[in-house]
Amino acid sequence: MRLRTLTLAAASGTALLAAGLLPAHASAAAPRSAPGSAQEGTVSAADLLAKVTSCSQISNGKYKTDDETSATVPVCGKNGAVFWKADMDIDCDGQRTTNCNEDRDPWYQDDTAFHQSDGKPLKAETLPYVVVPSTSSIWNYTNAGIKGGGVVAVIYNNKVEYAVVGDTGPSKIIGEASYATAKALGIDPDPETGGTDSGVTYILFKNSKVTPIESHSAAVSLGDQLAKQFIAAN
């Protein structure tokens, strides 16, 4: 199993403030909570996967899954969402925790592109989040209605885990999610040796935003709602 690629977190404390709140929006006053066991929500993995069997490519090119691989992964468009099918490398960046720190992760960085409601970086060990490629000539995620705190349905081995867009990564590589996302899906979350080489589908719901970004329960609630809408619209 290959090692995780370096996440280039472009920290932006104003990114969430700059993004306007669009209709797909959920709020939760509850503190962040650790992910439960996938399946989450009421929509099955099979029903979601049935809607992403074909790809209408919206990216100008394709992405690599790792530095040493060829570019084979397009970003695809659907009504109300974008998606890609890739691997999962483990992002352990953000606040230092027992399993996410310099000693456990050779690529560790103490920041994430998007921040909690209190201004602190996210916690990869407890918050399910997904990494999107930094803006490049291949694709600009913001132009597709994707923003920090947006909801993502991550599907692996017939399980669904709802996450948020929490970090940005290399501009030519795709397929990365937080320690908590991997753990909830039964993927080895070790930041150095974990992850999986294939079989992960990421469905990002356009113009969605979880408030506060650190509330996993809010992500699940909004994600379930958007998943039902996605199935009805595709």
Residues spanned by the domain of 224: 15-233
Q: Is 9 exposed, middle or buried (0-12, 13-18, 19+ CB in 10 A)?
A: buried
Considering the domain boundaries, does residue 7 fall inside one? no
Dihedral sign computed on CA atoms, order 218, 19, 160, 169: negative
Alpha carbon distance 136, 81 (integer Å): 20
Report the pLDDT value the prediction gives residue 39, as an integer from 0 to 100: 77
* CATH number of the structural domain spanning residue 157: 2.40.40.10
Domain count for the chain: 1
Q: How many residues does the chain have?
A: 234
Q: What is the DSSP string of 61-84?
A: S-BBSSTTS---B--EEETTEEEE
Considering the domain boundaries, does residue 187 fall inside one? yes
Considering the domain boundaries, does residue 216 fall inside one? yes
Please write the tens of the pLDDT for every residue from 77-94: 999 999 999 999 999 999
Considering the domain boundaries, does residue 9 fall inside one? no
Please write the tens of the pLDDT for every residue from 126-154: 999 999 999 999 999 999 999 999 999 99
Considering the domain boundaries, does residue 10 fall inside one? no
Residue 145 backbone class (left: φ over 0; alpha: ψ -120 to 50; beta: rest): left
This prediction has a pTM of 0.86
From the list 85, 83, 80, the residue with the least C-alpha distance to 230 is 80
Considering the domain boundaries, does residue 90 fall inside one? yes
Report the pLDDT value the prediction gives residue 24, as an integer from 0 to 100: 54
175 half-sphere exposure, CB direction, 13 A CA radius = 30
